[in-house]
Amino acid sequence: MEDWNVVVTVREHVYKQALEFLQVFGAVAGTEYYNVLTLRVADPSSFAALLQDALTQHPVLEDVLARVVPVEHTFVFQSPAEFERKACEALGGWIGRLGGHSFHVRMHRRGFKDRLGSQAEEQFLDHWLIEQVQTTGSNALITFEDPDDIIAVETVGQRAGASIWDRHDRARYTFLGLD
């Protein structure tokens, strides 16, 4: 699926159950990556609440879904430089929100092995965001100890998606598994 807005990591031996369950929410597709599905939903924010309700009503589903990350912005890239440029564009809308906050970027990469390093890109985006926040006259702090916000960057092949999750969201949506 080329236009996903949710990335799902499935637990061992329950791939089929995950596929069937997720079809209720939107168009779901397998990927070339082990136990990774993509999903296209009408509204990622509403989907997060609906999925959490389903997990609350049917706790056994937690044994099926390892991580589920809805994303707000998606983009396609052909090179590491293009990834960085488009990631900065996608994350740029959150600069005002990050002022006075603690945060970090967490990237889960599937594909582009040896061309795009998750840790290096996390650090690049962390520092770029700090610089951008400072240009507004505010400050932000990169921390991994209970930050105000975590920015999730997910890649599947040459498509990426990004979303931002505050402390309240992370407590509410148990399926995110951002750290």
The domain spans of the chain are 6-70, 73-172
Residues 6+ positions from 20 with CB-CB distance below 8 Å: none
The 10s digit of each residue's pLDDT in 140-159 is: 999 999 999 999 999 999 99
Class of domain 73-172: alpha beta
* Burial label, 24 (beta-carbon count in 10 A; 0-12, 13-18, 19+): exposed
The residues, any chain, with a CB within 8 Å of residue 17's CB and separated by 6 or more, are: 64
Specify the pTM: 0.94
Residues 6+ apart with CB under 8 A from 74: 3, 4, 5, 159, 160, 161, 162
Q: What pLDDT digit, counting tens, does each position of 27-80 carry?
A: 999 999 999 999 999 999 899 999 999 999 998 888 999 999 999 999 999 999
Residue 112's pLDDT band, with cuts at 50, 70 and 90, is confident
